[in-house]
Structure 1
Amino acid sequence: AYLFLGVVPTVLLLILASMLGQILYSQLGAYLLYHDVEDRVAVMSSLASMQASLPVGLDEKAREKILARQAELSVGQEMPKLRVNFEEKPKFFSDMAGSAGHSFSGLIQSGNQLRLVGMRELENSQGKRIVEVSVPFDSELLENVAPDLGPIEITLAQTVEDEAGKNSVLIGTKHYRKLDKILTYKRELLPAESWSDPVVEGFSKLEAVYISPQGEVERAHPVFAFYKARRSQLNHRIFASVGEFSGARVFQIQLLGVVFLVIELAALIIGVVLAKAITKTVSGLYRATQFVREGNFSHRVTVERKDQLGVLGESFNLMTSSISRLIDEQKQLQRLENEISIAREVQDQLFPRGLPKVEGLEIEAICKAARSVSGDYYDFIQLDPTHVAIALGDISGKGISAALLMASLQAALRSQLLTPGSEQLSTAELVGRLNKHLVRNTGEDRFATFLVAVYDMETRKLRYTNAGHLPGFCLSDSKSMHLDVGGMVLGIVEDYPYLEGVVDVPREAVFIAYSDGLVEPENAYGEEFGVSRLEAAAQRVRQADPKRIATALMTAAEEWSGSPEQADDMTVIVAKLK
């Protein structure tokens, strides 16, 4: 908190000041570069005016000699490439100077060539003539431009059409492409004078008259000048008016910054001391939080005050007591969740992982658990190429105990059906063996309803035994056959005599088995969905594939209930016997 209150605002202000200084220095360098070029343009205009005022009969060599001397006096350096020309009918002069203009000075770009030009109209006895003074704007000239800066680069561009390609950039309403560049080769970036002497980069946009290869004249054509410099170079220019005292002025500014930093640190220290003095009374709470962090919720704060800090201490004691109680409850809940997770994993391993692939048989099952672990169990077992066993059960109880009973039932069922010759085993005998297994190996309060059926594709006979489960049914065009032959639930009476039922299955019949959760949902008036409504819903979609039939039956039961919550597990098996 002390860091954010004292240090962060100062750091942000310093960063803002540094960014602002960088922007200002960048603009200063751009101004120096632009101003130097404009001064040279003004010199070219002055030279053109001087040439226009010379006597008419003066020869060309004399004019060039006078021009060189005038340029040296104006610029302070020799300009060996400076030239003067006289033209009777100058090209483009009216476009550059305007219809009423008599002079022009500025930059002219022709292709990848850039020149400094000054023109002036001259009228004498020989008629109207134009005197033109020009010098190439090349690397040699660029070396003398803005000497307070470091390396300079001039980028020349040409106008292109809108569809010229991705290498063009849009400036205003026109597209431009880089054509060439002019560099300074002798200039180097000076080494930093100190850690606070960063590199300053910037650019300035110059305007030139662009003459295209087709002879078209474009005014205000952009020419970009980029530069690099040290901040110390620009400081020397800023404080040039004070001469040798410029270093002292910079030192004063740096000293002021150091003083400001010292004051800020002193204020931060004083603030920390005052804050600690004010919050001394809560140090006991802080020490108590260390005990809580280590997991010791029995520690209590000694309350000696009657003010708000005392109330805070009492609240802390109540909080730790509540946390301790909640942790105990959370541990119990975690144990229960672990038990449910184990039961869910066991159950996931019990359900069949794939559907039997038998010609003439399509089968599908859907199981929606009311809670994390379902009490319903179903299985498909292919006995041989022509026999398939289908099983559905409803296990009593919930949680891991129901999952374990389901695992025991599944293991016993598969051990009976996966032995050679099991396709000839009576379903009544099979259910009787499962019943004995549950009676002998489970408690008295554990039981299960169970329906098992074995279908023979060759004879089209369905043998089944129903042990206390809701009767499944076979639907055909003409009738509905209920599978209600069998006996009582499994796990109650050890030697109970179960019966086997046999059904001749018509072609294109649909076999449906379900749990009680599918027919027991009640509507707003307390009416159950019921078996009759389930059969009617199945009859309406009998021609569909098993998956659509199963989904339709689930949807019909849910729509009848109208409640988003299930009261019991819902399971349905649909087999299409072609």
Structure 2
Amino acid sequence: MKKNDKASRGGARGRSKIKKDNSSDEFSRSRSRLKAVSPSDLNKKNSDRMNSTTVRKPRSHTDIRGYSIGLKMSIIFGFLVAVMVFISLLVLSSIVESSLEDEIKASGVKSTVFLSETTRIMNEVYLSNSSEEGINHDPNANRNMQIFYESVGESINTSKVGILCAAVYLYAKDKQSPYMSSFKQYSIETVSPVVEVVGGVKVERKIFKIIEKGDIKIPCFKFEKTVIDPKTKAEIGKAVVYISMSKVKEVTSKVRGITYVVAFIGAAIGLLVAYMFSQTLSKPILLLLRDIQIVSGGDFEHRTKASSKDEIGTLAKAFDRMTENLRYQQELEVESERRMVELSHAKEIQQRLLPRRIPNLRGIDLHFYYQAAKDVSGDYYDVMPVNEDHVAFLVADVSGKGIPGSMVMTEIRTILQIIRTSSLSTKKIMSRANRLIASDIKPGMFVTMMYCILNLKNNVMLVSSAGHNPLLIQRATGEYISLNPKGIALGFDKGPIFDRVIAEQKIQLYKGDRIVLYTDGIVEAMSPEREEYGDDRMDEFVKRYAKISSKDFVDKLMDELKDHQDVAEQHDDITILTFKV
């Protein structure tokens, strides 16, 4: 059964022949304190709070620190364009250089082959009658060939292929003897030891140094082909041609210069295009950032206008939904605070309606304990004087917790305070209380109650139960009694059935007897393993500790209950009232 403590509105409401008690004054004072914080004041306070959140001015997006997205994209895109253009033109320059070198090689090979064949033919024509010792013994032949080669060399040098020098060497007695050369004084420096053979002609990279023109150094290709005597198959000489690479270097240098210029222009164009594109991309982001800053300032009514259907537009719509949820959560928070204030006052009223101090009863050791599962509860206990010789003890439990349970509990307390002196019969008190509560209680709700009236002179106690947990009695003699007279819960029936079922039982108490009234929050307390404390444990506890003082009895029971619950949450209200005669 669920338990919720209810603060009752004490005092008689104009009923004739009923004497008002101090509870009505307490209730009136509690109601007057509530006027200090009325619902209208709360609403005004919360409204002011909501409005105050919108006065903060949002910061401009110019507060962004660091480089903007647009600038970053411009730099990266421009750099990539420049690199791509630069690499492309470098590749083109390399292709042009390679193509020009191939053209020079083709021309050099052709010139060298021509010179070699000419040398072979002229050797046959001019030296056919030479002595076996060599052509150097025939001065006329040597002179004629020299004149011929010089004319051939001049013809080659005047070509447009950039020939620096053409020379023919004829062998005589294992020595090389130049018969023709464009320059009389020159030297050769080796650039690369790699020798390439193209069409039977050896090709090497050299540095041609013209001594007679001030040691001018010119990068060139050296082409060399051996001259073979077709009759003897012997080497009779060699033809050598040097072709300048200056034009290749000149063209390559121009191409690379163009490469740098085009790369720079490409980078500039890339930066411009990237900047324009980034502006298009970053503009909606900056607008969204402005909207975020407005909302972060507290204006939850502000909405973002999605200007596109891409990811940024989707993000803007999602942000709008988030803003709407934040606004709803703020309203819930304000409402929750309002309810918490009201609940706090309800709790204060309920606490003041419960007994705040233990009554001093002659010959009775009394103690009680109450703990709500929520701020307010449906459990109720009381000790009420009926007259000079009689006192009423009761423990009640309303079905349900929270505000509804506390309201019913307050009503029950008010009714009992009014009718407590009208009879010394617990059965009659129960019947009257049921008739009054049944006409007002919400369908489905009910109240269980254990109601006792003790005669302080002879220790005779009358007991009635409205479907409540049993009354536990541990006698000083060792006898244990679980007393629970017949009865149904208050509120189930408006009168006839309840009056027929409700019973009253008389019991004689003796010195040393322990009496315990409690709600089901004790026996239904759960352990972390979902095991209830149970009736058996409760019975054993009463038997074991019946002889100690009532305060120690309650303290030990609460300690044992906490050990049983351990870390488990308290799900129901806990109330116990015990006394020893």
Considering fraction of residues, name the structure with more strand: 1
